[in-house]
Every structure is written in structure tokens, then in C-alpha cells.
């Protein structure tokens, strides 16, 4: 195998270019991207936050970053469908590893996440985060807003996450309410897709409910998102429980009646005009997964988001 290499995540001399590790071996960074703590020169950074102390049902999302990285090995080498290109030929991406959190002092968690995310964003790189439960989006939003100003929220989810709290709770079900109240998110230009539960308030955020989504074509959903956000900077968060449990069994709060992985990836593919300033995929819980079905879905969401960024960067540089 003269064209093959191994452990590209450690041995890569450049930040660009595809790896050629066997899919079944080698260091499991996200899509074999170089592991670096020095992200100077990187267009994008992938970062893991192994945290699940905020869940209200089944735990296990702290293992999500590991599982997503493992599942992403199947994307190695070839031009990535549906982008038909080596995403990393000119778009440099590094895997920053994981956030170090003290499991015995959860009150320190949000500040640690926000501070480290802020340091990454100071480099000018796009940050995509692998969760972890959905609470992590709260400190991530704070870090992104500190750099970009208030953002539109594009949220793929079965839950609105608008439950009330006292501003101090470590809770994965209330970050949206807190973000709106504190002015981080503009509800008039934000949208939630796939909602299949009820919450006390919607704060004026537009909702595409699960039964509506079932009847809509993917192009119509994408058009609704683009019309709602317009040209405003946006943060994209994808809770894997947006998918039906048939396609994402490995999650903490599964809700029946959701869309397929294929449908949601098709919608993501059509968001190339969206000005995404940051994003995450959360709530992948490997202990409840089967054959990496959910981890593969999570890795695909991350790959599609990076693919959109690579296309956007190519257009800007042309």
C-alpha cells in the first residue's frame, strides 16, 4: 500500500489535504484532521465537549465526541458526497481535542467552556463543537456572541429548550429561553425545525413542527430557514434527537415521529447561503446507540456543516 499512511492526525505536516489512513485503523481525530492546540492558520476547528450532567433523562452524551470521531473515519480519503470535492484541499481544519471539565464542580463548567471557546474564536477560525448534551450550547453562544454580536439561532431539535430557570441551573432544556432573555439570540430571525414537544413559551421563535416537517419538501424547509434568517449571522445547533429514534436511537430524550437522516442532511445541504458563524451537534449518547447509527448521523451533520463552510470559503477566495 504505497499510497497509504497511518495516524495522519499526528503525522500530518500540513493543515490541508486528505488523509489516507485505513478506515479501520489509525488515530481517530475528526475526519483524520491534525490534532493541534495551536490553531494558527486554521480555517475551522473541531472541538469536543464531553459533558452530560445537565440531562433530564438518559445520560451518556459525554461519550458523544469519541463516538462521532470514530464514526467519521468512514469519510476518509474520497471526495465527500454530496460536495464532490476533497473538503480539505484548500480548507484547513484541525481537531482541537476535548474540553477539560471537572466532573465534581459542574458550576465551573459554563465558564470553562466559554473561556476556551473564546480563545479559539480569537484566532478567527470557525468553531464546530461535538457534544455533549445541549446545555453546552449556552456557553458556546456566549462566546460566539462576544465575537460576532447577537445571532440568529437555527435549531434542529425535537424540543424547544425554552423551559424557565433561575439563570443558574445546569439544564439542557432551558438554554434557548436564557439566550433570548439575555439578548444573545434574536427570536425574530430564529427558527426551530422538527419540534415534537410542547414548552411554556416560544419567545416568538418560528417553529416548524414535526408533523409539518413530515409533509414538506426539503427545498421548502430550507427556503423557510433562509427566509427567516436572511443575511444575518447565525448559529446552527443540531440536537440529534431531531431525528426519529429509528435513525438516532442513541440519544437521551428520544421522541417518535421525527424525520429521517436523509431528509435532514438534504436540508442542511441547501443552506449554503446561510451565514453560519458557529455550530454544534449534540446529544449523541453511545450507550443507547446500535451499530453506530446515531454516531454516523452526528458525524454526517458535522461533515455537512464543514462542507458548507469549505464551499463558502472557496467562493470568497475565487
Binding residues for Mn(2+), by number, are 134, 157, 159, 161, 239, 241
Per residue in 286-299, is it b (16+ CB within 10 Å) or e — as a string? bebbeebbbbbbbb
CA torsion angle 79 80 83 86 (round to 10):
-40
Residue with cell 458556546: 140
What is the crossing angle of helices 293-317 and 64-71, to 10°?
A: 70
Q: How many other CB atoms are there within 10 angstroms of residue 14's CB atom?
A: 9
Distance CA 300, CA 105 (A): 32
Cβ(194)–Cβ(157) below 8 Å:
yes
Q: What is the three-class DSSP state of 252? A: coil
Residue with cell 469536543: 48
Which residues are documented as binding site? 134, 157, 159, 161, 239, 241
Residues found in the chain: 318
Amino acid at each position: 500500500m504505497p499510497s497509504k499512511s497511518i495516524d495522519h492526525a499526528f503525522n500530518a505536516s500540513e493543515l490541508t489535504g486528505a488523509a489516507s489512513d485505513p478506515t479501520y485503523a489509525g488515530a481517530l481525530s475528526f475526519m483524520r484532521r491534525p490534532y493541534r492546540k495551536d490553531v494558527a492558520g486554521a480555517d475551522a476547528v473541531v472541538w469536543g465537549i464531553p459533558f452530560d450532567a445537565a440531562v433530564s433523562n438518559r445520560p451518556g452524551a459525554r461519550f458523544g465526541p469519541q463516538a462521532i470521531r470514530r464514526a467519521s473515519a468512514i469519510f476518509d480519503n474520497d471526495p465527500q458526497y454530496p460536495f464532490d470535492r476533497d473538503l480539505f484541499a484548500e480548507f484547513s481544519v484541525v481537531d482541537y481535542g476535548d474540553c477539560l471539565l471537572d466532573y465534581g464542580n459542574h458550576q465551573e463548567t459554563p465558564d470553562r467552556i466559554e473561556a476556551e471557546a473564546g480563545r479559539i474564536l480569537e484566532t478567527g477560525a470557525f468553531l464546530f463543537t461535538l457534544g455533549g448534551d445541549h446545555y453546552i450550547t449556552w456557553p458556546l453562544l456566549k462566546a460566539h456572541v462576544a465575537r460576532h454580536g447577537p445571532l440568529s439561532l437555527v435549531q434542529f431539535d425535537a424540543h424547544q429548550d425554552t423551559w424557565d430557570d433561575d439563570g443558574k441551573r445546569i439544564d439542557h432544556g432551558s438554554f434557548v429561553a436564557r439566550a433570548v432573555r439575555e439578548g444573545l439570540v434574536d427570536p425574530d430571525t430564529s427558527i426551530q425545525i422538527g419540534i415534537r414537544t410542547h414548552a411554556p413559551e416560544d419567545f416568538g421563535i418560528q417553529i416548524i413542527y414535526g408533523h409539518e416537517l413530515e409533509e414538506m419538501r426539503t427545498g421548502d424547509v430550507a427556503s423557510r430557514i433562509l427566509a427567516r434568517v436572511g443575511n444575518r449571522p447565525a448559529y446552527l445547533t443540531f440536537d440529534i434527537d431531531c431525528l426519529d429514534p429509528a435513525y438516532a436511537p442513541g440519544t437521551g430524550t428520544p421522541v417518535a415521529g421525527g424525520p429521517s437522516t436523509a431528509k435532514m442532511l438534504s436540508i442542511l445541504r441547501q443552506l449554503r447561503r446561510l451565514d453560519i458563524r458557529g455550530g454544534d451537534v449534540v446529544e449523541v449518547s453511545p450507550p443507547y446507540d446500535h451499530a453506530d447509527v446515531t454516531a454516523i448521523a452526528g458525524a454526517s451533520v458535522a461533515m455537512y456543516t464543514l462542507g458548507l463552510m469549505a464551499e463558502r470559503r472557496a467562493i470568497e477566495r475565487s
